[in-house]
């Protein structure tokens, strides 16, 4: 499947079909997550990133500056293993099966687009990532979902310059 350059088309229509290819026993090309951990991670990040927890300070903190530069440079993810981290450090699974988790993904992406349909000027905020508008969210989640689909070989390449 050719990945749509339209972020909404990809997240709403292509991701559910692509996730159907994911097998519960698939091994990642990198990282510690199981397929179900990865899907649950995508759900959690999509939902939690939409919250507005507080108000921004006059200047960005170190973490927020990192995220702003990350977004402004195209939000391209890289594998950065944390030293000493093992599978025992992964979050506890919330859903009974991979299939159950996959069924929740459209709810998370629908919430993303409904939020901005109902309030186009909405901006999420948290102390770690800073303030995100609709375009920031679309870019981050588009790249984040592609990255993790690549992690499990569902898409063959992540960056345009990969062979």
The CA distance from 18 to 110, in Å, is 17
The verdict on residue 123 lying in a domain is: yes
Which pLDDT score is estimated for 163?
42
The verdict on residue 14 lying in a domain is: yes
Which tokens sit at 79?
């594998």
Could you tell me what percent of the chain has a pLDDT over 70? 98
The verdict on residue 158 lying in a domain is: no
Q: Quick one: average pLDDT of 87-94?
A: 94
The verdict on residue 99 lying in a domain is: yes
* Max Cα–Cα distance, the chain, nearest Å: 47
- For all residues of the chain together, what is the average pLDDT? 95
The verdict on residue 160 lying in a domain is: no
| 108 burial via Cβ count (<10 Å: 0-12, 13-18, 19+) | buried
The DSSP annotation for 83-96 comes to TT--GGGSPPP-SS
pLDDT > 90? residue 1? no
CATH number of the domain where residue 113 is located: 1.20.120.450
Q: What pTM value is reported for the model?
A: 0.94
Report how many domains make up the chain.
Answer: 1
Which pLDDT score is estimated for 157?
84
- Domain of residue 147: give its range: 10-54+67-77+94-151
The verdict on residue 3 lying in a domain is: no
The verdict on residue 119 lying in a domain is: yes
Summarised one tens digit per residue, pLDDT across range 21-48 is 999 999 999 999 999 999 999 999 999 9
The verdict on residue 87 lying in a domain is: no
> Can you say whether the dihedral through the CA atoms of 34, 17, 156, 7 is positive or negative?
negative
Decide: 127 and 61 in contact? Cβ < 8 Å.
yes
Which pLDDT score is estimated for 158?
87
């Amino acid at each position: 499947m050719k990945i749509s350059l339209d972020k909404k088309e990809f997240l709403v229509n292509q991701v559910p079909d692509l996730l159907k290819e994911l097998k519960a026993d698939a091994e990642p090309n990198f990282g510690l997550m199981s397929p179900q951990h990865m899907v649950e991670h995508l759900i959690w990040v999509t939902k939690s990133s939409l919250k507005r927890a507080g108000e921004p300070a006059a200047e960005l903190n170190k973490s927020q500056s990192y995220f702003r530069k990350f977004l402004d440079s195209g939000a391209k993810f890289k594998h950065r293993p944390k030293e000493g981290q093992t599978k025992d450090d992964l979050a506890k699974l919330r859903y009974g099966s991979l299939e159950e988790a996959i069924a929740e993904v459209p709810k998370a992406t629908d919430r993303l687009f409904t939020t901005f349909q109902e309030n186009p000027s909405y901006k999420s905020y948290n102390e770690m990532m800073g303030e995100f508008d609709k375009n920031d969210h679309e870019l981050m989640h588009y790249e984040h979902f592609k990255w993790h689909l690549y992690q499990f070989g569902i898409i063959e390449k992540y960056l345009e310059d990969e062979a």
